[in-house]
Amino acid sequence: MSKFKIGDIVIKPKGYSFDGEVRAVFTTKSGEIRVVAELKPGNGGGMLHIFSEGQLEMWPAKEQPDQPSTAPC
């Protein structure tokens, strides 16, 4: 089971910056979990990127929206 769900706001803490919203979570044929995140509006907003779970972290709870967004990041 993934530590992320659709609508979670996430960051990529290492390497290049990526702040976005989880749009999909799935398992590969080999059983590894992948997370699709949509880049927040601004520089390249709307771009989708596939990550492994270990590449992302949740935004602090106080900054999480009450309801998952139905609009693009």
Q: How confident is the model at residue 19 (pLDDT cuts 50, 70, 90)?
A: very high
Proportion of the chain above pLDDT 70, given as a percent: 81
Q: Which domains does the chain carry?
A: 9-59 (2.30.30.60)
Spatial distance between the Cα atoms of 72 and 20, rounded to a whole number of angstroms:
10
Stated as kind and residue range, the H or E segment containing 11 is strand 9-11
Q: What is the pLDDT of residues 20-60, one digit of tens each?
A: 999 999 999 999 999 999 998 876 778 999 999 999 999 87
Q: Would the pLDDT of 3 be above 50?
A: yes
* pTM value > 0.85: no
Give the separation between CA 31 and CA 39, rounded to whole angstroms: 25
CA atoms of 73 and 67, how far apart (whole Å): 13
